[in-house]
Amino acid sequence: MVLRLSTLFLRTLREDPVDAEVASHKLLVRAGYIRRAAPGIYTWLPLGLRVLNKVEAIVREEMNAIGGQEVHFPALLPKEPYEATNRWTEYGEGIFRLKDRKGADYLLAPTHEEMFTLLVKDLYNSYKDLPAYLYQIQNKYRDEARPRAGLLRGREFIMKDSYSFDVDDAGLDTAYAKHREAYLRIFARLGLEVLPVLATAGAMGGSRSEEFLHPTDIGEDTFVRSAGGYVANVEAVTTVVPEDIDPAGLPPFEVRDTPDTPTIDTLVEAANRLAPRASGAWTAADTLKNVVLAALLPTGERHLVVIGLPGDRAVDLKRVEANIGAHLPVGGEIGIEAASEEDLRRHPGLVKGYIGPALGTERAVLGAEGSTGITYLVDPRVVSGTSWITGANEHGKHVFGLVAGRDFGWDGTIECVEVREGDPAPDGSGPLETARGIEMGHIFQLGRKYAAALDLKVLDQNGKLVTVTMGSYGIGVTRAVAALAESNHDDRGLVWPRNVAPADVHLMVTGKQAELFAEAERIAAELEARGVEVIFDDRPKVSAGVKFGDAELIGVPTIAVVGRGLADGVVEVKDRASGTAENVPVADVVEYLVSAVRG
RNA sequence: CGGGCUAUGGCGCAGCUUGGUAGCGCGCCUGACUGGGGGUCAGGAGGUCGUGGGUUCGAAUCCCGCUAGCCCGACCA
């Protein structure tokens, strides 16, 4: 295959597009791989499509290798399956909805769990049919509130999604392990560094979930790792819980006037001024901050949750959302947001800025008159016997020396605090550092959630109906192209790994003599005959500088230059990544390039 | 949804403060020169200045509304 630049549908840009922020987006547009069609929606040009196809081919091969069978669903779907699992509602504004001429509701699929489940239900009904691994490589549509960074977060994107169907948990474990291995092979072949990190299964249920994160500063996901090898998504990190302390001998609590101290900073300042401590200055870590949140239940109800945590820590709403399910057993997804003024008005016992547990009871009650209908959860660091400065439920007053378990109680503990650099890893492997990454893939054990909701059952060996257990496994294919561009570029342009480059060799002619073009034509034809994919810059009136610039921008791994060296019988062969160049005798150049490509 | 910014030819921008009928660079077309790092010269094509209204003799420019986009945050299998 030879792509001639004289006719290739391509226009490279000298300047960065103004709406692009990250390198991959700028370069993919500048080098003529993609064009923006609408916010978060991109058109693939010939070069981009070639890269995309190569990524897809690798994914396909590895999925087939573990017994995956490719299918293809429509992107345009009726709403009914999504109503059965409640996602027609749960997805909210996140999905593109439309109506047909009769007024029936349709959607552009944001994900296909329902359709896969129904397809298996449609065709299979015996344990003998299982396990089954089905996958597709297909467009997904999500009406993201804020698409960003080009291909990295689009509103239309391509995902490889697969689903495993098994009769029992052991089968699911096997399917999960196979997918995990396949994913590691896929990313290795793509030349994309990924870390499998522990993720929360969250409201999806299921016992196990890992994300494959590609570490990069422009990533949208924060994860933590320790020198000892612990890696986890921040939502999944667990706190190292201190030992309980025997409260015997601790002095009783004491209420003090602390005027104008509605924030932790002002409180710490006042505490050191009004009640200095012999053993050292009070710090924010000595205070117990009570943050009021509102949980949005699937029923539409709004339930208040107060979280007590050390004052030097901040609540991470994502972590709350991921872990709240255990404390509010309502089933379904629970949304979490900061409480509104209206929420506080409905609970006058909660005095803003001075909220604390009801004093002197071990029960989990809050506020001046004691709470009703509020769930009080605390950070795991708040163990029995710890002593705190916290709000006294009266404007301008705080209580000092309030001892957990002795003077106040709580409904439960929750992992909810923002993980900080330097916090200990839960497995004792050292202090955590935070890093950013792009989620390239996510695998999880769905269990029976969808099968139950859609009534997917098969007959087992005993002739009994059993609900099938499922796994779900995704790879962001278009996102992989963006991540590859992001991690493989320099200040001159893209530098594709060999396995995904749009071509094997970028052959160019510099000069105008007919012999140069004739020789380059010969080389191009021979390379084609040997199965090498060639981008051939045969443009007759383009200066050498432009050709070099375009070659480096486009980023094919090997660049061959037929030019002034030809008089000495050599062709220059450059390595795009290292920049090293070598003069190869004309007679050997085809063989040289073939082995470089297959190398 | 909150905060900030922007909207002028295919792309990147100036012009707006102080109203007078649109300009620059890149790209594109023609020709000549040049020919290993985005070269030079000459001549061209291409714009209802996001949109609706208002002020004015006259609006890209001033005023009001709307829409869209970008960035940060919230949100997001």
Is A43 within a domain? no
CA A347 – CA A370 distance, rounded (Å): 10
Residues A291 and A356 in one domain: yes
Please report whether residue A403 resides in a domain.
yes
Q: A481 falls in which pLDDT band (50, 70, 90)?
A: very high
The mean pLDDT value for A295-323 works out to 78
- CB burial of residue A426 (10 Å; 0-12, 13-18, 19+): middle
Q: How far is CA A222 from CA A49, A284, A322, in A?
A: 30, 25, 15
Question: Which helix (H) or strand (E) element contains residue A402?
Answer: strand A397-403
Axis crossing angle, helix A589-598 with helix A514-529, rounded to the nearest 10: 40
More confident residue, A176 or A319: A176
Inform me whether the pLDDT recorded for A559 exceeds 90.
yes
Q: Are residues A365 and A287 in the same domain?
A: yes
A17 domain-assigned: no
Give the distance, in angstroms, between residue A12 CA and nucleotide B20 C1'.
40
The predicted-structure confidence for A212-271, as pLDDT tens digits, reads as follows 989 888 877 788 888 877 888 777 777 777 777 777 777 888 888 877 777 787 878 877
pLDDT at A205 over 60: no
Average pLDDT, chain A: 85
How many CB atoms neighbour CB A140 within 10 A? Answer: 21
Rounded to two decimals, what is the model's pTM?
0.81
What contacts A301, CB < 8 A, 6 or more positions away? none
CATH code assigned at A339: 3.90.960.10
pLDDT given for residue A207 in this prediction: 64
What is the arithmetic mean of pLDDT over A168-196?
Answer: 93
- Tell which phi-psi region holds residue A373, choosing left (phi > 0), alpha (psi between -120 and 50) or beta: left
Cα dihedral A326/A331/A333/A335 (nearest 10): -60
According to the model, what pLDDT value does residue A575 have?
Answer: 95
Q: Any idea which nucleotide's C1' is nearest the CA of A111? A: B77
Report the C-alpha gap between A187 and A81 in whole angstroms. Answer: 33
Q: Which domain holds residue A307?
A: 254-413
Q: What is the model's pLDDT at position A331? A: 61
Note the CA–C1' distance, A4 to B41, in angstroms: 30
pLDDT recorded at residue A202:
46
A124 secondary structure, DSSP code:
-
Closest nucleotide (C1' vs CA) to A549 is: B38
A409 plus A518 within the same structural domain:
no
State the nucleotide closest to A36 in CA–C1' terms: B69
Residue A160 lies in a domain: yes
Q: Is there a single domain that holds both residue A347 and residue A201?
A: no
Q: Lowest-confidence range among A386-390, A426-430, A495-499? A: A426-430
Judgement on whether residues A325 and A400 belong to the same structural domain of the protein: yes
**Cα–Cα distance, A196 to A36 (Å, whole number):** 31
Q: What angle do CA A182, A186, A187 make, to 5 degrees?
A: 120
Nucleotide nearest to A21 (CA to C1'): B71
What average pLDDT score do residues A293-301 get?
74
Shared domain for A61 and A186, answered yes or no, is: yes
Strands A156-166 and A132-141: antiparallel
Mean pLDDT for the stretch of residues A26-42: 85
Q: Separation of CA A192 and C1' B54 in angstroms? A: 58
Query: What is the DSSP-derived secondary structure letter of residue A347?
Result: -
Residues A187 and A53 in one domain: yes
Q: Are residues A473 and A525 in the same domain?
A: no
- In whole angstroms, B71 C1' to A150 CA is 14
* Residue A351 resides in a domain: yes
| CATH number of the domain to which A232 belongs | 3.30.930.10
Across all strands, nucleotide nearest A11 (CA–C1'): B27
ipTM attached to this prediction: 0.84
A544, closest nucleotide (Cα–C1') = B36
Confidence at residue A274, expressed as pLDDT on a 0 to 100 scale: 80
Number of domains into which chain A is organized: 3
Q: Do residues A271 and A404 both lie within one domain? A: yes
More confident residue, A102 or A92: A102
Confidence of residue A279 (pLDDT cuts 50, 70, 90): confident
> Stated in angstroms, how far is A38 CA from B58 C1'?
38
Our measurement of CA A154 to C1' B61, in angstroms, reads: 37
pLDDT at A385: 83
Q: What is the dihedral of CA A218, A220, A224, A225, to 10 degrees?
A: -50
Give the rounded distance of the alpha carbon of A118 from its chain centre: 27
Per CA to C1' distance, which residue is closest to B74? A337
* CA–CA gap between residue A221 and residue A225 (Å, rounded): 13
Per-residue pLDDT reduced to its tens digit, A351-402: 777 787 877 666 656 665 555 677 888 888 888 888 888 887 778 888 888 8
Helical H segments across A530-586, by residue range: 544-554
Q: What's the CA A16/C1' B68 distance, rounded, in angstroms?
A: 21
Contact between A172 and A445 (Cβ < 8 Å): yes
Q: Is residue A494 part of a domain?
A: no
Which is more confident, A456 or A368?
A: A456
Distance separating alpha carbons of residues A42 and A33, to the nearest angstrom: 10
B76: residue with closest CA to C1': A144
Same domain for A339 and A384, yes or no, is yes
B33 C1' to A562 CA distance, Å: 23
Q: A587 lies in a domain?
A: yes
Q: A288 and A385 share a domain?
A: yes
Nucleotides of B strand lying within 7 Å of any protein CB atom: 1, 11-13, 25-27, 34-39, 68-77
CATH number at residue A565: 3.40.50.800
* Domain annotation covers residue A13: no
How large is the greatest C-alpha to C-alpha distance in chain A, in angstroms? 98
Domain match, A67 and A135 both: yes
